[in-house]
A and B are shown apart, each in its own frame.
Chain A
Amino acid sequence: GCFVFKPSTKKRRLSDKTADDFRCTSNDSEDTELRFVTCQSLWNQIKSETEQIQENLNKQLLDNLVSFLSRSHSDFQEKTTEWTCRMKFREIPTAALVLGVNVTDHDLTFRGLSDVLQDNITPYVALLEAKDCPGIKNLMQKLMGQLMKCDIDVGSLEDEDCVQVSQNRIRCSMSSLISWYDSVTKKTDSETPSKKRNSSSRHWQSPPVVVIFKDMESFTTKVLQDFIVISSQHIHELPLVLIFGIATSPMIIHRLLPHSVSSLLCIELFQSVSCKEHLSTIIDKLLLTSRFPFKLGEKVLQVLINIFLYHDFSVQNFIKGFQLCIVEHFYSQPLSVLCCHLADIKKRVYSLSHDQCENIRRLPSFRRYVEKQESGKQIELLTNDSFLKEETEKLLEDLHVYHENYVQILRCLHVFTSSLPKYPLGKQIRELHCACLENRVWETEEYESSLQLARMLNKTDLVTMLRQCVEILMSSSGKEFDRTVEKLKEFLTQFQNLEEASQERDVSVSPQKELQKKTDLYHLQKTLLELKESRRSKKLTKFEMLRFEVVDYIDSLVRRYLVPADQRTLHEIVYFNGAAVVRGHLSAAPRTALHTALNSPHWYLKNQALTCDGGGISNKAPDICIVYKLHLECGRLINLMDWLEAFSTVVMAAEERNANAASSDQVDDVIHARFIRAVSELELLGFIKPSKQKTDHVARLTWGGC
């Protein structure tokens, strides 16, 4: 939730800033406004894109669920008279929805699900969470509350009736639910012919009541059992469908419900897309595309991916992290005004102020670029603003073209590397992307070994890969790759020819076939040796030559197009590289922060007087810091008296050096009080707790002098 409000806080900060600095840098403030607008529009685009992606990914699942739900109670409506239906025990249709362990993402799925259900199947959908339902009573209350409210939504005209019901303090029992359901369905029945609203006609005459248990794992066994037993007795009157949201594995159903209860259910399993796949699609659609001008640097991307893989598996968090990057980039980089779509670049470049031009000149990548130019141009670039602008526009356009090519060639390379044994460059395209961003990929060992492996591919694989590459390159809009495509096609035809040629030559008996005839061990050895000899001396076959050629060609493409982004001029404008900032924001380390605060207070208090050399304890530090440092020196149990004495020694060290003689064994009351307060603060922070093992001792809850 906290990230959602980020843009608005920025806005506030921005307005503050413009108010303060309005006089001196009026141009800059204009840019900030523009930056803010650009950032917002970019984020909105990305947001709608991600929502689209999610919708598409969940579509299959939702379709399956909808068809299940529509099937579930239709059986009963049609052939209730048949013998089997009479004999069969009527089970509650149940969908077990396995969603993966990233519980934070489930909300979105459930929201989508309930929307779809309300549109297509039934207006009666109730979402239950375990924390609202500690007992069956609460569950029924919650359920009835949600169902009856949704009734108000549909038939808003019948408000009086509903109000009356709620005034009665409805009895939370199944029978009142059933009577409610009867009245509601009867009402819609009588209304449908006359009403022109199609909402009720979209549903059938008796729409099922869908109850969704969001987090099955957290529900107590008793509540679930009771609810299922109760509802199974009334399934004839109330067409109920249950949906269990499961985070771990469907085995949990058997663990939570005994057989006597689970036999009342008719469970079907549905699985959502795995979150890793989800992430891959998101990365594919958001990062490996030239649609969005904003890019992530290698380190930042790595941080985000690591948080995902190592910690939470949550795609929502990944997207929020991405959002943070966008906001941070536009906030901290003044030149991010230029991080926009190609069409706007020209206008924006020419409206740059002198200060912004200076900013450009200060960019390290730009300075590198300048150094490479001849001296006359260097001077022009450094002194003439309009010349600089022209040049900048050109460079930015170059950068844009570079992206487009980069993505295509990256995909081609991925086609090759993803089919190699052991995946030296990674199985997923994101790993390859990171490797390419990090440094020159062709200089790495992994690349070398994957080329080696690629030189050993068999023909059918090679041909299919080449075909895929051709497809990828054809799909790109630019004309950049026309020649490449031609070249690849040429390779393909060569392979084709080779095949025909080899078919003709196939008549000659191969040495392997001879080998099979031999049974004698001695002869076998001999022929094997001969074979080996001949192979070593043998010239490369045509196919092998061609294979080498193909691999070399791919290699040349990689060297040409997959240059790491940070070697491109002006990459700072579109690439966000503040990995440390992102890490600091996204993976908070409360323990470390607390330790730093207590151990070296000057870090946060910014007071030089508090810096202490080595392990010494400054007496000017806050009391709690002194107490904390002293407690680090103790073992598991701390004697309070010793601690107090040490504390008073430290505190008195400066204050009463002159009045040393006056100090006796008695500790000053004030110091005593300060000590007590510091210790209780430490207890509140969870470092110590009172111990019953020894009198006047407290127990440490942390270990080591960390």
Chain B
Amino acid sequence: MPNLEHPAYPAADLLHLEGLVPCRESQVSMLLSIFGERQQFSFPSIFIYGHTSSGKTYVMKTLLTTLQLPHVFVNCVEYFTSRLLLEEILIQLQSCPSGTEQSSPVHCDTLNDFVRLFKQAVASQELQDQTLYIVLDRAEQLREMEANILPAFLRLQELTDRNVTVILLSEIVWELFRPNTGCFEPFTMYFPDYSIGHLQKILSQNHPPEYSADFYAAYINILLGVFYMVCRDLKELRHLAALNFAKYCEPVVRGEANERDTRKLWKNIEPHLKKAMKTVYLREISSSQWERLQHDGEEPGQLKGLSAHTHVELPYYSKFLLIAAYLASYNPVRTDKRFFLKHHGKIRKTNFMKKHEKTSNHLLGPKPFALDRLLAILYSIVDDRVAPTANIFSQITSLVTLQLLSVVGQNDQLDGPRYKCTVSLDFIRAIAR
């Protein structure tokens, strides 16, 4: 295990930092060596990517705060326009070292303004002599803003002529960022997924004060045994661990087993965890409901999950409209005559199906159809006569708002709107009953 060492920072801080970022020591030491000493210019932009909850945000945040480096931390999802983003950076910058100072309203519409204001802010905060770090979390959002934002951030050091380093955090690789016009290539760095051993180590670190670390580690071991196959998200696992720990402790609390009785405890918790995997993990039932169930000692079977309520009650003609839409979406037009006409004449058996039609239509997905075809099929599948009243037409629209149908090609409303049926065969079966 490499110990963190850097001449510029006090050893105590580094040791503390090492304790805070388990299993990420190598990345941290790499970052530290890139950062260099406080006053040294660093690489203009660093791109860090890795899977969900591989500790990118957490490591950056702890690193910058423990070492008390001046930094600005912005989430690009939250500041969804370039203006908001730039203003937020400036606001944070104003209150950067002291942290308490009330920010005055900033107006910054373009990057040009930003560079100017940024220089002012750096000057006023007396940050010239140390590197300022701007961390942009969820940087993939930058691609949706104006085209100049991303390239400008990558070479902000050059543009502002100040000691600044921009760090981009993202879940996707750099190749998907690179603009067509080319840009400054940042230093890319990969945060690998935590292995099961890492997860075990990290999760066991925060054991509850009432119980020993070993006891909790054994619990985490069992938990990972159940959930590791489906979930490697650290946040989610920690959440699940907290939710189910009470149940694990139950035999100990009741005095039926002691803390070392792992087998007994395992027997107690394992089916419970499996149930949790099917319900809470999928958010079929909420965690608060789960806790209440646990508390009351009820069977979770009584509480129906979200997907248990699949049935949708529809008016009579809406059902037929939906079925007609389904038929129109999945049957080729040529077969309409055969299926929906009483005297359709003889069918030539040979070559009836063209070659490409032999693949199941369900694999190909729904095809768009015209309104008239939908109505024609509707008239033929409903037994009694249907008057083409406004009610029928408004039902089609309401099916569209319910997302059971979708309109294809928005602009053609007046001439002949085309629709697609978006529901599954199971759904159609359920309403056809």
Contact = CB atoms under 8 A, between A and B. Distances in A.
Contact of A267 (B80, B306, B310, B404): B306
B131 to A, nearest CB: 25
A168 B403 contact: no
B84 A173 contact: yes
Contacts of A588: 389-391
Contacts of A702: 372
Interface stretch (B4-12, B257-265, B313-321): B313-321
A87 B416 contact: no
Contacts of A311: 315-318, 391-392, 394-395
Contacts of B314: 101, 313
B346 interface: no
A695 to B, nearest CB: 19
A310 B395 CA distance: 10
B288 A253 contact: no
Contacts of B116: none
29 contacts: A83-B210, A84-B208, A84-B242, A87-B206, A88-B243, A94-B286, A96-B306, A101-B315, A101-B398, A101-B402, A168-B105, A230-B78, A247-B401, A248-B312, A250-B306, A251-B309, A260-B233, A266-B288, A267-B286, A268-B289, A308-B315, A310-B316, A310-B391, A311-B315, A311-B394, A312-B391, A689-B415, A701-B372, A701-B416
A395 interface: no
Given A310-B316, A701-B416, A263 B388 contact: no
A378 to B, nearest CB: 45
A91 to B, nearest CB: 6
A218 B201 CA distance: 44
A230 B75 CA distance: 9
A646 interface: no
A592 B388 contact: yes
B80 A137 contact: yes
Nearest to A684: B414
Contacts of A260: 52, 233
B376 A703 contact: yes
A268 B306 CA distance: 8
A589 B387 contact: yes
A592 B387 contact: yes
Contacts of A271: 309
Size bracket of the A interface: 35 or more
A591 B372 CA distance: 13
Contact of B306 (A233, A269, A308, A313): A269
Given A101-B398, A168-B105, A217-B401, A253 B306 contact: yes
A563 interface: no
A309 interface: yes
Contacts of A312: 315, 391, 394-395, 398
Interface in A435-468: none
Nearest to B415: A689
B213 to A, nearest CB: 13
Contacts of B414: 686
Given A247-B402, A260-B52, A309 B316 contact: yes
Contacts of B307: 250-251, 254
B315 A230 contact: no
A676 interface: no
A591 B388 contact: yes
A591 B388 CA distance: 7
Interface in A232-268: 233, 247-254, 259-260, 262-263, 265-268
A360 B88 CA distance: 80
A700 to B, nearest CB: 10
B311 A249 contact: yes
B236 A263 contact: yes
Given A137-B80, A266-B287, A248 B402 contact: yes
Interface in B264-289: 282-283, 286-289
A83 B404 contact: no
Contacts of A89: 235-236, 238-239
A32 to B, nearest CB: 32
A217 B283 contact: no
Contacts of B398: 101, 103, 312
Interface string A563-601: 000000000000000000000000111111000000000
B306 A254 contact: yes
B182 interface: no
A71 B75 CA distance: 30
A277 to B, nearest CB: 11
B136 to A, nearest CB: 15
B77 A229 contact: yes
B84 A87 contact: no
Given A84-B242, A88-B287, A266-B287, 15 more contacts: A83-B210, A87-B242, A137-B81, A173-B78, A173-B84, A218-B401, A248-B402, A259-B282, A260-B52, A262-B283, A271-B309, A311-B315, A311-B395, A312-B395, A703-B376
A587 B245 contact: no
Contacts of A587: 387, 389-391
B35 interface: no
A689 B370 CA distance: 14
Interface string A73-92: 00100000001100111010
Contact of B391 (A93, A249, A307): A307
A119 to B, nearest CB: 24
Given A87-B241, A587-B389, A702-B372, A267 B401 contact: no
Nearest to A174: B78
B222 to A, nearest CB: 17
A175 interface: yes
A307 B394 CA distance: 12
Contacts of B372: 701-703
B194 interface: no
A215 interface: yes
Interface in B178-193: none
A173 B79 contact: yes
Interface string A297-321: 0000000000111111100000000
B246 interface: yes
A266 B391 contact: no
Contacts of B345: none
B190 to A, nearest CB: 20
B401 A103 contact: yes
Given A89-B236, A137-B80, A174-B78, A274 B313 contact: yes
Contacts of A252: 403
A171 B86 CA distance: 12
Contact of A233 (B75, B87, B209, B403): B75
A587 B306 CA distance: 36
Nearest to A222: B144
A249 B309 contact: yes
Contact of A101 (B236, B310, B312, B387): B312
A591 B390 CA distance: 8
Centre residue among A91, A101, A275 by max chain B CB count within 10 A: A101
B288 A83 contact: no
A557 interface: no
A689 B371 CA distance: 15
A136 B210 CA distance: 44
A229 B392 CA distance: 39
Given A84-B242, A217-B403, A689-B416, A265 B283 contact: yes
Given A88-B287, A230-B78, A590 B315 contact: no
A208 interface: no
B239 A88 contact: yes
A207 interface: no
A689 B412 CA distance: 11
Contacts of B416: 689, 701
Contacts of B288: 71-72, 75, 93, 266, 268
Nearest to B105: A168
A226 interface: yes
A546 interface: no
Centre residue among B287, B289, B395 by max chain A CB count within 10 A: B287
Interface string B198-216: 0000000010111000000
